[in-house]
Structure 1
Amino acid sequence: MPESTAPQVSSFSTTFTPAHLKFINAKLEKLSPEKIIEWAMISLPGLIQTTAFGPTGLVILDMINRIHIDNQSAANVHPTPASSSASEDESDDGDHHFKKSGYNTQRHPVPLIFIDTMYHFQETLDLAQQVQDHYNIPLKVYKPLNCETTADFETQYGQHLWETDDLSYDYLVKVEPGRRAYQELGAQAVISGRRRSQKGDRAHLDILEIESGTGLLKLNPLASWSFQQVWTYLRAYQVPFNALLDQGYRSIGDWHSTKPASNPDDERSGRWEGKQKTECGLHVDYFKMRAEFQATQKKKQALLASREAAVVVAAAPAIQA
């Protein structure tokens, strides 16, 4: 059973009282997304961005890049190529399917995390490489534990796990790799692309949240934006985007659970069609989900043991005869 070490609770859970957090959110609501991101880059240690290269995540990445360039220009500092010797990022655990950048990553202000579930659209994987080339930044890729390919994953857990055990699937391909990334990178605050206009559990998002249990800060700088505002930005600044957007997709996840939006007023209507589900697990209580996953695994193991015992008992008379 895959199990990464339980993450430590961030000190932010005690630093930010509910009253303090409410006060900060009231101030952040008055700022533009760029100013929110700039504040976070200055104020929040251990800041990272997770992305599956959805439209909002791409806007955020572009904003971070522009803020970084402006700050360098103001300080009269320019990015320099990495030395020919391997840098810290060139020798990390990143997925070598994606080309390494020649950019000196110590100058990049916010580590960029991509969770490769093994079931992304090819268009998403192509975009991941395009983004690296366009912004000349490295991408830290995390996969299900001990899996390099889809075949590896299906050998361990079977095919179509999302149909037979949806909770375990989400935990294995998204939640555990995400939590492992946070721990290995020392993350204390994570920038996400969630927006209120996406409805469901996101309808009442605060810009700054504290994740239950872990104390991890979640920053939603575009919480107040509509899809149209996101789309306008992508076009205005020529930000690379997923080719599937031109085919009617709005929210893009794994290929087996994503279709073009069926409701133009609900951009996530193409996700998990026919299921009472709006989130994959990355934005729910981690410890609760881990406990549910462990309980499910114990039941499966007990059932398997029972079946094996039954086979032995059934075979015993034949052996005696």
Structure 2
Amino acid sequence: MPSTTWPTPFTTRPTVPELDDINAYLEKLSPQEVLLWGLRHLPSLYQSTAFGITGLCTTHMLSTFPSSAFPDPSKPQIPMIFVDTLYHFQETLELKDEVSEKYNVPVIVAKPEDCETAADFEEKHGEQLWERDEPTYDFLVKVDPARRLYEKLGVKSLLTGRRRSQGAARAKLNPLEIDETGTFKLNPLFNWSLQQVQAYLDENDVPRNKLLAQGYKSVGDWHSTTKSKEGEGERDGRWRGRTDKTECGLHEDYFKLKLLAKKQKVRLFHSGCPST
């Protein structure tokens, strides 16, 4: 039987057997119970979100907890981290503001380094970098901004909106993960279906992206997001036609993506070509 006695909060990384015990315990809990466990045991906890439907469930669930459930009862909230790639749909940016106001939760925004607009980014890196060098694009607009903000804020733990039912790399998702940087990642709705998520949103009148009513199922950057076709999976509208691409970079190996971006920069330098 797994142990249910763990540090409150963790100050060191659990061993592999300890992590296995934790996941065996969390497997049996409801999303709300998983969240309450995270509030008690995970240090410096934030919610990572692009305002997808699963993350919106998490935000609403947190809003229903008493202040005593939070690490600091005087601040009964978990701040949200939103990576603004500069290529989000306007509807996503509007939802960000709506959710922050409705649930009285701060949204801390990360952007590509020294860039406020897509024009700024393209002046530095050229147009349509996602087509010319997708790994570098992912690193520059998502992975690096997030990591810099995590370090600035002292983030040690994150709530994510990933679920097994989303398939691909997420099909074998554990409730709790520890990534290559040592960051705890808690997936409260790991075992929920799309139907359960949608029912929760409907029952609790949770705001959601207006694009969902237009035929989109999963929303990311405008250039890599298309409407879903009848019978398609939840994330099939992302990176249309790609079998080698199912993640945006935030949940991939940080050091691997950093190395790829560094190699590309060196290659361009030695070839005499600008990054554009």
For 1:288 and 1:13, the matched residues in 2 are separated by: 26
Corresponding residue of 2:53: 55
For 2:245 and 2:105, the matched residues in 1 are separated by: 34
For 2:16 and 2:263, the matched residues in 1 are separated by: 32
Corresponding residue of 2:24: 26
For 2:11 and 2:130, the matched residues in 1 are separated by: 33
Q: CA RMSD in A?
A: 2.2
Corresponding pairs, count = 264
1:72 aligns with 2:93: no
Counterpart selection for 1:225 from 177, 192, 196:
192
One-letter identity of the residue aligned with 1:206? N
Counterpart selection for 1:139 from 107, 114, 117:
107
> 1:108 touches 1:137 (CA, 8 Å); kept in 2?
no
Calculate percent identity across the aligned residue pairs: 49
Q: 1:150-189 CA deviation, whole Å, 9 max, x = no partner?
A: 1111110111111111111100100001111211111111
Q: Secondary structure at the match of 2:32?
A: helix
Shift of 1:72: 3.1
- Aligned pairs (5 A) from 1:1-321: 15-67=13-65, 71-72=66-67, 107-212=75-180, 214-262=181-229, 264-275=231-242, 276-304=244-272
Shift of 1:265: 4.7
Cα distance change of structure 1 residues 302 and 162 upon mapping to structure 2, 3 Å threshold: same
For 1:305 and 1:15, the matched residues in 2 are separated by: 43
One-letter identity of the residue aligned with 2:78? V
One-letter identity of the residue aligned with 1:170? D
Shift of 1:218: 0.8
> 1:144 touches 1:177 (CA, 8 Å); kept in 2?
yes
For 2:113 and 2:213, the matched residues in 1 are separated by: 33
For 1:290 and 1:139, the matched residues in 2 are separated by: 26
Q: Secondary structure at the match of 1:167?
A: helix
Specify every segment of 5 or more residues in structure 1 that has no aligned partner in the other structure, as ranges.
Answer: 1-10, 80-106, 307-321
> 1:12 touches 1:217 (CA, 8 Å); kept in 2?
no
For 1:271 and 1:55, the matched residues in 2 are separated by: 15
For 1:33 and 1:47, the matched residues in 2 are separated by: 16
For 2:81 and 2:97, the matched residues in 1 are separated by: 13
Query: What TM-score do you get using the length of structure 2 for normalisation?
Result: 0.90
Q: Secondary structure at the match of 2:177?
A: strand
Q: Secondary structure at the match of 2:272?
A: helix
For 1:65 and 1:164, the matched residues in 2 are separated by: 42
For 2:105 and 2:192, the matched residues in 1 are separated by: 26
Corresponding residue of 2:5: none
Specify every segment of 5 or more residues in structure 2 that has no aligned partner in the other structure, as ranges.
Answer: 1-8
> 2:67 touches 2:76 (CA, 8 Å); kept in 1?
no
One-letter identity of the residue aligned with 1:51? T
Q: Secondary structure at the match of 1:15?
A: coil
